[in-house]
Chains A and B, each alone.
Chain A
């Protein structure tokens, strides 16, 4: 039986978003920067979307911008704050397990002559808040709300407090959490937050960038200014759909969370008895995690062969193993955690996931692991 269990990569369009998108395609097509009737109409839809998103995230509408993707939002958050606070210093702090968009932005900052301070994580993928004490000359720090590969939640509020004591703003990449768990900017204490609509049931092509009032930030793109939208013509219908999906998610996640966390708990409970030499990553019992993502690594197995075997059975998951990417290096998240990088799989559940999806995975996976091990000549390799 087929099962889509890669909702952390992307998840199907939420029915409410589909409905909103269809309406907005007809009503929000005009240029919201124009002052005539059609333009004003598109502007009103855009403003309403901004209000909706602000309401869900505990922000003010004028603190919300929409970008072309979550990765773009994260890049702008980090580089825009580093640029606006250049006089405060040239150092950018990031955790070692950030999404590649944040690490790429940090590398860009470094190549432009700035400094980057990378903060390591423990075996569960967590940063130690004490390690996030800013070095002198820190312009901005970035710490994800939860990790995209293993689901571990980061101590964002504690880190924000530590940074604020030193006058340093914090960006949090909340692409994993927004639309999945309650995210409140007041409680998080972050100065900038970014998210991605397609991760929670909105359409692709919409990123959310929140810059709290009082944060020194300027759009680093050419042509940006107080009266100029450097992002180009906004996709109003998609933004409307993204806001509608977020509002819908806010009403349903409380009921959904225990169900998905139950799937994850069952997966983690059954895996070690079904497969020899499997290492579960993260640990919801010790370090809080998001309820819909879980990862593990199987010793003596290629990640790519696992994905192929599962795909043949119609089961979609993802892997952080090196052979599954176009580069030969393994996932930087797994390396930073000291986890086994080969034979890695990430399973992630979504709003339409069922027990049958989990059963399908657990029916097929042990046989796939056995056959990959046999093909590599490693059927029984004890210590």
Chain B
């Protein structure tokens, strides 16, 4: 399985929810349809809130993984 293409990374580690979600939403405006963006966050609410944001905005949460140096990475693709 190939690594999803990443067009950018937002490092929101150290920021408390909802700030990482706001960072994601702000950066998402520049993501073209079909492209992805990665969000790094370590707030415990980030996982559920990224998933909920994708559902509410009808965007695709492509993958989630734990980062080697702390926090999690969420890769999100713009569907529309």
List the interface of chain A (C-beta within 8 A of B): 277, 279, 297, 299-302, 321-323, 328-330, 334-335, 338-343, 376-378, 381, 383
Contacts and interface: CB of A to CB of B under 8 A. Distances in A.
A302 B16 CA distance: 9
Interface string B20-40: 011001101000000000000
Contacts of B26: 377-378, 381
Nearest to A329: B44
B60 interface: no
Contacts of B19: 376
A378 B22 contact: yes
A279 to B, nearest CB: 6
20 contacts: A297-B52, A299-B18, A299-B21, A302-B17, A321-B17, A322-B17, A322-B43, A338-B48, A340-B53, A341-B45, A341-B48, A341-B52, A342-B18, A342-B21, A343-B18, A377-B26, A378-B25, A381-B22, A381-B26, A383-B59
B17 A381 contact: no
Contacts of B16: 323, 328
Q: Is the interface of A mostly helix, strand, loop or mixed?
A: loop
Contacts of A383: 25, 28, 57-59, 80
Nearest to A342: B18
Contacts of A343: 18
Contacts of B21: 299-300, 342
A329 to B, nearest CB: 5
Given A334-B48, A378-B26, A300 B56 contact: no
Given A322-B17, A323-B16, A330 B52 contact: no
Contact of B18 (A301, A328, A334): A301
A279 B48 CA distance: 14
Most buried by A among B25, B49, B56: B49
A339 B25 contact: no
Chain B interface residue number, banded = 20 to 34
A322 B55 contact: no
A33 B49 CA distance: 54
B51 interface: yes
Contact of A323 (B17, B22, B56, B80): B17
Given A328-B43, A329-B45, A342-B45, A300 B17 contact: no
Contacts of A376: 18-19, 22
Given A328-B44, A339-B48, A340-B52, 20 more contacts: A277-B56, A299-B21, A300-B22, A300-B25, A322-B45, A328-B43, A329-B45, A330-B17, A334-B48, A335-B48, A339-B52, A340-B53, A341-B52, A342-B49, A343-B18, A376-B22, A381-B22, A381-B25, A383-B28, A383-B59
A328 B37 CA distance: 26
A271 to B, nearest CB: 15
Nearest to B52: A340
B53 A299 contact: yes
A297 B52 CA distance: 11
